[in-house]
Structure 1
Amino acid sequence: MTESAPARPRVPRWVTTTLAVVFGLFFAYDAWEAVGNILGISWLVSDTDTAISVFGWIVLSIGVLIPIAVFLLAFRLGRTRDLLAQVLLYLTGLGVSAVVALDIVALFGAGSLLT
């Protein structure tokens, strides 16, 4: 005789949606900061006789796309899990997004993104 595992209580859709919206705002703020970096470096470049290199545009674009991609991944992985797992996935995603943003600033800085 086989015993089946007890069914987990399903998280209501409105809770999952509310959680996604709240954490989505944090991820949107990270993406907005990356857009601010692009604008700041563009203004810095416009005051000098330099330009943003192709490598610089790629790095700055990755800075914008990472928070969006990490949010979508956390949402996709967490939508069928319990509430605690969803929160932990979003918090982990925010940490990954912050680390990538800091790595971009620390490793490349404004000087290596210019030609």
Structure 2
Amino acid sequence: MTQATDTAPRRVLPVWAVATIAGAFGLFYAYAVWNALAFLLTQATGPLGLNGYGWFVLLTAVVFPLLVFAISFWLGHRRPAGLFALVLLTGLGLVAVFWLDVVGYATIYGATLLGG
């Protein structure tokens, strides 16, 4: 007995489409990284500097967008273009929420981050 497979071959996006979509969203992720890095440097070179916890929180805000982009790219690059863009957009939303959490925490509890 033979087993019939009714699975259609997967249509993979061309490399240029993956690069274009990832590049367009990558600019937004890069802006998030650049913004977090600027905030880190501003706080670190301020009159009080940062303590260890402050470095941890603000460095996490720098690394988090890179990690989310890598995971989003890994999850979506073999999917159709619309779903790939949607996965990257969802990751970008997650990065935005995380950034707002960091800024809110630094605004309310800023004294816990400062003082070297």
What range is the shorter-chain TM-score in? 0.7 to 0.9
Structure 1: gaps spanning 5 or more residues: none
Identity of aligned residues (%): 35
Q: Which segments of structure 1 move beyond 6 Å, counting only runs of 4 or more?
A: none
Instruction: Give the alignment of 1:1-115 within 5 angstroms.
Output: 2-43=4-45, 45-46=46-47, 50-109=48-107, 110-115=110-115
SS at match of 1:30: helix
> What TM-score, normalized to structure 1?
0.87
2:25–2:88 Cα contact (<8 Å) kept: yes
3-state SS of the aligned residue for 1:88?
helix
Number of residues of Structure 1 aligned to a counterpart in Structure 2: 111
Unaligned runs of 5+ in 2: none
Q: CA deviation at 1:5?
A: 2.4
* Partner AA of 2:98 in structure 1: V
TM-score, structure 2 normalization:
0.87
Of 77-86 and 58-67, more deviation after overlay is shown by 77-86
